[in-house]
Amino acid sequence: MFEVLVYLYENYWRPDACPEPKQLSRKLSAVGFEPEEIQDALRWLDGLASSAESVTGQPVPGSMRIYTDAEREVLDETAVGFIAFLESAGVLAAPLREMVIDRAVAAGGGPMALEDLKIIVLMVFWSLGEEPDALVLDELFVDPDDRIIH
């Protein structure tokens, strides 16, 4: 599923630039994606659109986000730390954080790989038609082992 999401990000500027689901499904199939991963990705994107509509509110100063057991099954210490890092850097406002957490839980499975969580963060920005700044893109795309220290 994550490969399909990356393909969509790379090939369509915004969700509204994507063709209708049936046509998009045919295009993705022609590119070589399996029907099951296409359907999983399209279902996940539908949930992303719903999540964008339903997430509201601002954090209360001094408040702390407590993760549920279901969220902790998907988001391990590294993932929670990464989300906290983005939030403390001012990149991920509380409503966006909630979208990221919602979509991570929707992806399911055991502890999520950090690379997959980064794709989810990217897709949340993409769904809103926002381009993260260059430093955020660097954090989302560049492997820390490949970084050059100046």
- pTM for the whole structure: 0.83
* Residue pLDDT tens, the chain, 150 long: 999 999 998 898 788 888 898 999 999 999 999 999 999 999 999 999 888 777 666 666 667 889 999 999 999 999 999 999 999 888 888 899 999 999 999 998 889 999 999 999 999 998 888 877 766 666 666 555 554 454
Q: What pLDDT score was predicted for residue 147?
A: 41
Domain that holds residue 138: 2-146
Give the CA dihedral 75, 125, 143, 29, nearest 10 degrees: 90
Q: Which pLDDT does position 131 carry in this prediction?
A: 78
Rounded Cα distance between 77 and 96, Å, is 19
Contacts (Cβ under 8 Å, ≥6 apart) of 121: 86, 92, 100, 140
Residue 5 CA: distances (Å) to CA of 39, 79, 146, 150: 11, 19, 24, 33
> What pLDDT does residue 15 have?
82
Contacts of 92 (CB under 8 A, 6+ apart): 83, 86, 100, 121
Which residue in 59, 36, 49, 44 sits closest to 6, CA to CA?
44
Predicted local distance difference test score (pLDDT) of residue 5: 93
Count of the separate structural domains present in the chain: 1
- Distance of alpha carbon 143 from alpha carbon 146, whole angstroms: 5
Token look-up 């929707």 returns 106
Residue 113 CA to its chain's centroid (Å): 12
Count of CB atoms within 10 A of residue 119's CB?
22
